[in-house]
Structure 1
């Protein structure tokens, strides 16, 4: 641990707390039922913490928990809501607590940090961190261990579109600027505008008065409390398409009986297991009124907005494919330059890049290794001005705690090795010390010489090292390369393959442009047509993509390329396609390739007859977030795109809807297409906003394999900043 200047070395944290005159800082949260009441009470009382990354003039923060929403307040109020928090980590597990940064902060702040007293809150899409040190280890452990439960409780309640209460409570509190606990009519109108709801003022006024049941008044005006506002928004956001669907299902009755619900589930939703008993369980699950044994309109709307009626098949939420085939038989979710959180020349490097990729199911991470000071390997994009990370801290803090948190299947570390001989040995020792038994090492673990690779199930919980780069490899590092021995191009692999036998299995690694050249050869040369059946291949972005843009991975998947590495820090269509592809198998990072890419037939089909007809009706959108500069002259539309085999490429878009109302735009437009190779096809739904100058902005999108489409009336959740945004549509797949 770094030392502090002599004159401040003995100063304790508690003494500094007593000297503090800073304004209170508090975090409000919803306590989880699993947390003991006494713990909740102690957290509500609050405690002082040292900000490990202090801003000028503010080093000490007061933190406490309340009953409603999470927010971190200092002075005028900066809010960190619980739904924005992605992780809470005990100890030194963020960039702020990295060795180099920690030393700088120790010197600047005048006191030393203690690892057992520290924890971090990670929040926001940019993965900001609030890094704190408590006065003792017990306080830090209490907060770190229980905050995860608090987060889980509120996120579970707000993750379903059927319960918008947490989202609306947050909006209510942000609109209540004077903290009176009420909103006036004008404040409600401004809030609706911020929520992208544009309705005529007389209609809003009528619904406001209907909701003002308690007749509260402030400064002579009628106002709504929080509960009344929730009712007001439900009236404003009434969905006529669900009302019509309910009436059709009920066949003229006031409520929906179990028999009618079972018929709807079987006929429209194609849920063949849905008998009367199942329908009655659904009625009970969504029951709002205990007096009747049938489903009301409100309960039906709640059910239709639940995850059970999302567009992704329920069985595909879990691992559902055979995981006992060689790993070369799978597509593997892969990242390029995982450490970067910006561009390739000046961008920052962060262990959060690794954590974020792992959270999204990535199973192949990249480490660019270079010689560092004090004989410690570092990670950065060589010969650029990107920032540097200590390799051992990336391994210990960014990879080890999360390696198997989101998927149990093998994690591949793709090492770009620019290390000297001596630092290769140090890095190999770091791998062994940090990963211990999780590290796949030694030929005895892979059974010596085998005719095929091990399976994901056999490699559960194992970390595999793949390395390229150095001309001379340290024996210590070479001993770890027993599954994935990397070659930088096809000719080198063929040269090695015809002259040597090795216990290592080969991986061809090349850029997207190099790969395109060689893949053309595969289609013409019969002797190499099954190349990716027996050999692993990794394709990464070309060096000209300095802004960290991504290429379309579909072309390479069509040839059976297992590892198509993308820049996970760059959101957009191509990364969405990648994330969508891996939804097929529980987002575990491994998806089984189609039969013809496993050598079970002679060659990749270049033509074929349609096997499916996909029928869709794009009905409506829900709670679309407001775009910068949006006006009533703006327009929304839905774009549908299918990528896969060239024969299956398809595009469709709805008409533009005027007035820029994002509450519940209604299209109700039909489309259909024939599909020859559904195993390869990925379908992408996007909502776009067009302004008065015809400039298009993506509001949100959702991608998934065509094979994963659930039938019937479904919601596609959008990858927007708003958790409750979605598209409502009808889907039917017909076999030919």
Structure 2
């Protein structure tokens, strides 16, 4: 067994030198971020103690501080073999003041509301719930983090590249002597995601080591990077269009954009690109674009070959809703697996921020007459139905203004269904569609454009929508309340019979009346669907079932294919 090796202790003079170099690196990064003398970044660099919250019993003090790269937060950990933990500011999606996270609402008291804040991460990383020593300190943390994140996002392409390369160089320079040995150079290449043959890297190293010291420093490092990232094809393209004193004029750039990029470009567009990407101020003053500026532009998403018109919604959004593919989520509330993973309102937030327009709520009876959401008959944790609706209301239209469908998988008693209806009505207010839009019985769906900012309930309904406009109340359909996917195989008929024999659960009228444009029904074949179902009635299929129906319908009669497509649009798939 090998002994664990620890870092050798530095002498007093070595420690002073290390601190001086660290301070120099910090000042360089602060300058690159354009935050010299800024109070917010100085606060983060100094850092402070915060109470980290994970559960009612796990609340521990940790010291948080911004590292010298000005992009990484560090905090001490008490875990064995993991004394330090870090996270990048680039991984933060939001910093929320107060008890806005599910964890802080569950594990803290209302008295500490002003001292609480949460750091929300992109991807699947768990939120960081924190409590400061005072309300003023909590506001300072939130304001400082938001300020530096905003500054980082506002950096130009050149500034971001400089900051990234400088940070990688500092990480690669293990002994902090401002020089790179051959082994440190290879570490640097790994950090910047450049995979080259060792012999080729050694050859370039020797070529750049003009001092023959066995190390690269200063301009030698810059020369090494230039040689390594040289793109001959870029030289050819640039040389073809740079017809003005070896630089691109605005006219040359317009020609490149129209001919090579297939863009509708103007001189104003060319001037904007030069102003944004040209790193040499003298060249920029002459309204020209150097090769470095051209390369900066090509590295930016703005130069993507995708049609720039498609960066925003460019389709016709005035057609009926069923004419569009709708980004949908299944078991939206789950953060991890569907057997024992945690359920969280944060899962709804993340789905909606990614542009999801249909979220699922599996609703069950909870304690204290409050419905809960979880994956039934499993060990997944539970969240309150009303908390999920609040989260949906707050984040539904952050990414898109188009309607959000709330797909109810309803397993609740009539009493708690009424609670569900009250919560949706009070929380969603006028944004909830509770009656057909327009005058009279509709013959088709409204368009996404007309439904902007609206919520639509998908679930069971006691009768047809036409009953709203009937002179006398129509009889209620005999249907069970729960919406389940249709059987995947004919061999499952036995399970279907068992389900039918179960006592049918009643549906609360208050909840039924909220289902307008997305009524869930069972599927009894395409002919039945075309003959008996209205445009707003739809069924859910497992993928295998949908594929099987498509194959069988196509085999029976090729002429049925068009009918099949129409029916699939009418009843929907899942």
TM bucket by the smaller chain? 0.7 to 0.9
Matches of 2:371 and 2:394 in 1, distance apart?
20
Counterpart in the other structure of 2:255 = 263
Tell me if the contact between 1:438 and 1:462 (Cα under 8 Å) persists in the aligned partners: yes
Output one character per residue of 1:2-27: Cα deviation in whole Å (capped at 9) or x when no partner: xxxxxxxxxxxxxxxxxxxxxxxxx9
Distance 1:119 1:534 in 2: 46
The offset of 1:257, in angstroms, is 3.3
* Residue 72 of structure 1: aligned partner: 74
Q: Structure 1's 410 and 207: CA in aligned 2 closer, same or farther, altered over 3 A? A: farther
What is the 5 A alignment of 1:93-112?
93-99=100-106, 102=107
Task: Give the secondary-structure state (helix, strand or coil) at the position aligned to 1:274.
Answer: coil
The TM-score, its normalising length taken from structure 2, stands at 0.74
SS at match of 2:84: coil
CA distance in 2, matches of 1:380, 1:228: 59
* 1:440 maps onto 2:452 in alignment: no
Structural mapping, 1:405-444, within 5 Å: 405-441=398-434, 443=435
Match of 1:50 in 2: 51
Question: What does residue 168 of structure 2 align with?
Answer: 171
1:241 equivalent in structure 2 = 233
Structure 1 residues 386, 82: CA separation in 2 closer, same or farther (over 3 Å shift)?
same
**How far apart, in 2, do the equivalents of 1:308 and 1:491 lie?**
49
Deviations, residues 320-372 of structure 1 (Å, cap 9, x unaligned): 11222211111111111112233333333233322222222110111111122
Structure-1 separation of matches of 2:159 and 2:143: 29
Q: In structure 1, which of residues 352, 362, 386 is the aligned counterpart of residue 380 of structure 2?
A: 386
Q: Report SS of the residue matched to 2:331.
A: coil
Q: Which residue of the partner structure matches residue 117 of structure 1?
A: 115
- Residue 317 of structure 2 corresponds to 323
| Aligned partners of 2:329 and 2:360 also within 8 Å | yes
- Cα RMSD for the two superposed structures: 3.9
Cross-structure match for 1:129: 127
The question of whether the paired residues in 1 share the 8 Å contact of 2:254 and 2:266 is answered with: yes
Q: CA deviation at 1:181?
A: 6.3
Indicate the larger mover: 261-270 or 403-412.
261-270
Q: Distance in 2 between matches of 1:280 and 1:61?
A: 50
Pairing of 1:348-427 with structure 2 (within 5 A)? 348-397=342-391, 399-427=392-420
Q: Give the TM-score of the pair, scaled to structure 1.
A: 0.59
Query: For 1:306, which of 300, 309, 312 is the aligned residue?
Result: 300
Q: 2:336 matched to 1:342? A: yes
Change in 2 beyond 3 A, CA 1:435/1:77: same
Q: 1:488, 1:510 within 8 Å by CA — same for their partners in 2?
A: no
The Cα shift of 1:63 comes to: 3.6
Q: Which residue of 1 aligns with 2:501?
A: none
Unaligned runs of 5+ residues in structure 2 are: 1-25, 78-82, 461-480, 483-504
**1:77-226 paired onto structure 2 within 5 Å:** 77-99=84-106, 102=107, 114-123=112-121, 125-145=123-143, 147-157=145-155, 163-177=160-174, 183-194=180-191, 195-199=193-197, 200-206=200-206, 209=209, 222=215, 224=217
Task: Say which structure, 1 or 2, has more relative contact order (CA 8 Å, 6+ apart).
Answer: 1
- CA shift, 1:392, in A, is 2.0
Structure 2 match to 1:291: 282
Cα deviation, residue 407, structure 1: 0.5
What is the rounded CA distance, in whole Å, between the counterparts of 1:204 and 1:56 in structure 2?
A: 57
Judge conservation of contact 1:483–1:505 (CA < 8 Å) in 2: yes
- Between 410-419 and 366-375, report the one with greater CA deviation: 366-375
Matched, 1:509 2:564: no
Offset from partner CA, 1:645-678 (integer Å, 9 cap, x none): xxxxxxxxxxxxxxxxxxxxxxxxxxxxxxxxxx
Distance 1:270 1:509, change over 3 A: same
User: Is the contact between residue 113 and residue 133 of structure 1 (CA under 8 Å) also seen in structure 2?
Assistant: no
SS at match of 1:168: helix
Q: What are structure 1's unaligned runs of at least 5 residues?
A: 1-26, 541-736
Partners of 2:233 and 2:539 in 1: CA distance: 52
Residues 390-437 of structure 1, C-alpha deviation per residue, up to 9 Å, x if partnerless? 22222223x222110000110111111111111111122221232223
Match of 1:462 in 2: 454
Once the two structures are overlaid, the 10-residue window that deviates more, 486-495 or 31-40, is 31-40
Cα distance in 2 for residues equivalent to 1:387 and 1:417: 17
Change (3 A) 1:230 1:205: closer
8 A Cα contact 1:522 1:529, kept in partner: no
CA spacing shift, 1:414–1:208, aligned 2, 3 Å? farther
Deviates more, 1:323-332 or 1:237-246: 237-246
Shift of 1:519: 3.5
Native 8 Å contact 2:62 2:75 kept in 1: no
Alpha-carbon separation, structure 1, partners of 2:101 and 2:552: 46
Contact 1:414 1:467 in 2 (8 A): yes
Structure 1 contact 154–166 (Cα < 8 Å) conserved: no
Deviations 1:19-38 (A, max 9, x none): xxxxxxxx999798899955
User: Does the 8 Å contact 1:452/1:534 carry over to 2?
Assistant: no
Written as runs of structure 1 = structure 2, the 5 A alignment for 1:548-697 is: none
Does structure 2 conserve the Cα–Cα contact (< 8 Å) formed by 1:30 and 1:153?
Answer: no
Asked whether the 8 Å contact 1:439–1:464 carries over to 2, the reply is yes
Q: Deviations for 1:463-512, whole angstroms, at most 9, x for unmatched residues? A: 111125434211221121112111232449947x85687xx922222211
Change in 2 beyond 3 A, CA 1:411/1:208: farther
Question: In structure 1, how many angstroms separate the alpha carbons of the residues matched to 2:342 and 2:194?
Answer: 34
Match of 1:486 in 2: 520
Q: Is the 8 A contact 1:35 1:146 kept in 2?
A: no
Are the aligned partners of 1:47 and 1:63 in contact in 2 as well (CA < 8 Å)?
yes
Residue pair 1:82, 1:155 contacting (<8 A) in 2 also: no
* 1:69 Cα offset (Å): 1.4
SS at match of 1:97: helix
Determine if contact 2:117/2:131 at 8 Å carries over to the other structure.
Answer: yes
Q: CA separation of 1:254/1:498 partners in 2, compared to 1, >3 Å: closer, same or farther?
A: closer
SS class of match (1:425): helix
For the pair 1:274 / 2:256, whether they are aligned, the reply is: no
Greater percentage in helix: 2
Superposed CA offset, 1:141-199 (max 9, x none)? 443355334323324548x6994334434434443556666654432222323534324
- Residues 418, 360 of structure 1: CA spacing in aligned structure 2 closer, same or farther, 3 A cutoff? same
Q: Would you say how many aligned residue pairs link Structure 1 and Structure 2? A: 490
